[in-house]
Amino acid sequence: MRVKPAFLVVSACLALGACLTPTTDPQRLPAGEWALDPAHASLTWQVRHMGLSWYTGRFDTLDARLDFDPARPEAAQLTAILDPASISTGDPAFDAALAADWFHAGRHPQIVFNSSAIEITGETTGRVTGDLTLNGVTAPVTLDVTFNGGLTSLIEGRPAIGFSAAGSLDRDTFNVGNLPHSIVGPTVRILIEAEFLREGD
């Protein structure tokens, strides 16, 4: 059996006791531009279905850029871009209908979020407000963010940082779907897990 190089790197690190524990002190992290690591990122959404459950889907294609200064974390700038045609519920036919009829992906091929303000609420928590453009409509959205820490990536050999975020929006604001609220509720929950890699390293 062929052993993958990544497995050897991690095994050697564990054997030597050299694995790093992520730091949550932003002062220990480098400033500059960070790019989303799509292999370690996800954006899932949930809507209330007939009052019975929170129906869950995701977007499979996403990108983001973060401009981060550890001396001024509240001044960070974030831009995220999603492909609405990459919506995924586990039902390809339904996905195609959602992309075309709910998100109008042909006319609006990108969903874009640009941060406008960041509020530090705790040692590892913050609130990010920004403008979300969806279906040709731009409106403010706020995310509660947890900074999970940063370290030097074992696999990529580059500094890496990670965040979890959660928020919600009103689908009516962005003209997403026209089913009555008794079938699909108006509130859309958003759950994000994201790792970023330092560019230029």
Q: What is the mean pLDDT of residues 101-126?
A: 97
pLDDT on residue 2 = 55
In a domain, 3, yes or no: no
Q: How many CA atoms lie within 13 A of 189 on its CB side?
A: 12
pLDDT tens by residue, 31-90: 999 999 999 999 999 999 999 999 999 999 999 999 998 889 899 999 999 999 999 999
Percentage of the chain beyond pLDDT 70 is: 88
- Spacing of C-alpha 115 from chain mean position: 13
Please indicate, yes or no, if residue 11 is contained in any of the structural domains. Answer: no
Domain membership flag for residue 77: yes
Percent of the chain with pLDDT over 90: 77
pTM for this structure?
Answer: 0.87
Name the residue range of residue 189's domain.
Answer: 32-198
- The domain that contains 72 carries what CATH number? 2.40.128.110
Distance CA 88, CA 94 (A): 9
Q: Does residue 181 form part of some domain?
A: yes
Is residue 70 within 8 Å of 159, Cβ to Cβ? no
**Per-residue pLDDT at 17:** 42
Of 21-30, 92-101, 131-140, 175-184, least confident by mean pLDDT is 21-30
Q: What is the pLDDT of residue 18?
A: 47
Please state the domain count of the chain: 1
Of all helices (H) and strands (E), which one includes residue 97?
helix 92-97
- With respect to residue 9, please indicate whether it lies within any of the assigned structural domains: no
pLDDT over 70 at 95, yes or no: yes
Assigned domain for 188 exists? yes
pLDDT at 71: 83
Pull the structure tokens for residue 151.
């370290």
Residue 20 within a domain = no
**191 in any annotated domain:** yes
3-45 tens-digit pLDDT: 455 555 555 554 444 456 888 888 888 899 999 999 999 999 9
Task: Decide if 29 contacts 22 (C-beta within 8 A).
Answer: no
The arithmetic mean of pLDDT across residues 116-134, rounded, is: 97
**Residue 123 C-beta-side C-alpha neighbours within 13 Å:** 4
